[in-house]
Amino acid sequence: MSPSAPPAALRLASPPKVLLPALSPSSTCSPRLSMSTPSRPRATPLTAAGGGGAAPSLLAADPGHRDSVILAARDAMTNCLGETHLDLVVPGLRLAAKGKVRDVYESGEHLVLVTTDRQSAFDRVLASIPFKGQVLNETSLWWFNRTSHITPNAVVSSPDRNVTIAKRCSVFPVEFVVRGFVTGSTDTSLWTVYNKGVRNYCGNAIPDGMVKNQKLPANILTPTTKADDHDVPITPDEIVKSGLMSKDDFDEAKSKALSLFEYGQKVALENGVILVDTKYEFGKTADGTVVLIDEVHTPDSSRYWIANSYEERFKSGLEPENVDKVT
């Protein structure tokens, strides 16, 4: 990927750095994005006042320990980046969109995507978690760089641990959800609809006799529309007939999504986890190139299971050990 230099108005408090092949160990010590307040220090472990080691349980009999933990937790919450107002402090920026997690600003041919610490689940914002946005942003940057052999992406640079500057493009109003297992608990999850007797979901034929958390014979794409309140499953034919995407654009994005997922599963398994399902978003640049946007294989957009316990727990009828954002 050959990053282009963004205009001066997008350089925030420090000059943009080119996306590196890998994040250095020292990268986790960089200051937080500065809004109207000074840079926030890194959160410290929740330990009892004057004590070391692990923090006691909130249910501990000693109320003094419990109060210390609660106070430490409250102090840590000051590290949360819950709101951004870059349009008020950076000339030339305009707030284009405020999502559940990301705030998007625009300036000329570039977008500034700020990943906040807001925690969303089931299509609503629940709370904020210190440094969550930094983890999501840096995770995506890592994957964007390592999947450039599969598809180009919109990333230009990252001037802050919570910020990505991207090329402006026309975003397809479709989320490309790829699944490798029959699982989930929401109304649109594959297990929920399968358990109700559905055997053709979003244009995919699902065989009879499958059980919850079982691996599919092959990975499948189950696209959804991008609605404000909730996502709606849709078939490829409906996407094309409704004019959401052309057939050529959809076929290209579908191929990229399935290849990204296959590669993501390989890398995840090499590191002891199973990439169960995830979602991708794509856009089209001014020159007609279909590019990967938004985020890649983050704990917010993906479901992960611990690999070495999956088979035994599945055979025993137990739920897999999860490391997704809901658990």
Confidence bin at 188 (pLDDT 50/70/90): confident
Point out the least confidently predicted range of 16-20, 105-109, 159-163, 218-222: 16-20
> 301 exposed, middle or buried (CB, 10 Å; 0-12, 13-18, 19+)?
buried
Which candidate, 246, 293, 228, places its Cα nearest to that of 236?
246
Q: Do domains 8-40+81-168 and 171-315 have the same CATH topology?
A: no
DSSP secondary structure string for all residues of 197-249: T--EETTEE--TT--TTEEEEEEEE--EE--SS--EE--HHHHHHTTSS-HHH
Confidence bin at 44 (pLDDT 50/70/90): very low
- For residue 9, what pLDDT is reported? 39
The answer on pLDDT for 78 being more than 80 is no
Confidence bin at 128 (pLDDT 50/70/90): confident
234's tokens: 């849709």
Confidence bin at 53 (pLDDT 50/70/90): very low
pLDDT by residue (tens digit) across 3-33?
A: 444 444 343 433 333 323 333 333 333 334 4
Mean residue pLDDT across the chain: 82
150's tokens: 């599969």
Point out the least confidently predicted range of 92-101, 209-218, 226-235: 226-235
pLDDT by residue (tens digit) across 287-321?
A: 999 999 999 999 999 999 999 999 999 999 999 99
Q: What is the pTM of this model?
A: 0.78
User: Topology of 171-315 in CATH?
Assistant: D-amino Acid Aminotransferase; Chain A, domain 1 (3.30.470)
How many percent of the chain have pLDDT more than 70?
A: 77
Extents of the domains making up the chain: 8-40+81-168, 171-315
User: Topology of 8-40+81-168 in CATH?
Assistant: Phosphorylase Kinase; domain 1 (3.30.200)
Q: In terms of pLDDT, which residue wins out, 27 or 237?
A: 237
